[in-house]
Amino acid sequence: MKPKTIKIFEKVSFPDLGVAEAMAKIDTGAWGGALHATDITEITLSTGEQAVSFKPLGQGPKITVSDFKQLVVRSSNGHVSKRYAIPTIITIRSVQYLTRISLVDRSTMKWPVLVGRSFLREHGFLVDAQMQNEYGDGGK
């Protein structure tokens, strides 16, 4: 499979979650991916099934997903936290890919979405840090 080259910052969407466009940092140093979300809570549905409820990008209506896992994640600064991870579709450059992304409050971060190396490897992406886009050197 020929690698697909992408920039270090890409516009992405999550159609299943109602997110039409968000800026993602493509991070080869991170293992997994993360999506900014708020009001993240585990709930019990009327069927007795467990689900996770959250607001993607911290806005709009809450989404409820019953297919989730709880992960222990270590951040780049060594902080360990428990996060919920859900399977969903991510669209990059008009192509849809199945992924599992963790939900975390990224309100103090510059980019609302982080795409990590496990996704990049699985889908044959090559990251070219010299490719420029409308955000130049990362929007600085």
Identify the bridge partners of residue 6 per DSSP, sorted by sequence position: 127
What does pTM read for this prediction? Answer: 0.88
Q: What does the pLDDT look like over 18-55, one tens digit per residue?
A: 999 999 999 998 899 999 999 999 999 999 999 999 99
Indicate the average pLDDT of the chain.
90
| Short-list 64, 73, 88, 67, CA closest to 13 | 88
Q: Is the pLDDT of residue 69 over 90?
A: yes
Which of helix, strand or coil describes residue 22?
strand
Identify the bridge partners of residue 97 per DSSP, sorted by sequence position: 90
Q: What single DSSP character describes residue 53?
A: E
Domains of the chain (ranges; CATH) run 4-127 (2.40.70.10)
Residue 71 banded pLDDT, cuts 50, 70, 90: very high
Check residue 1 and give its pLDDT.
66
Q: Which two tokens stand for residue 130?
A: 């010299």
Q: Is the pLDDT of residue 105 over 90?
A: yes
The more confidently predicted of residues 86 and 81 is 86
Residue 93 banded pLDDT, cuts 50, 70, 90: very high
* pLDDT above 90 as % of the chain: 78
CB 7 within 8 A of CB 130: no
Check residue 134 and give its pLDDT.
55
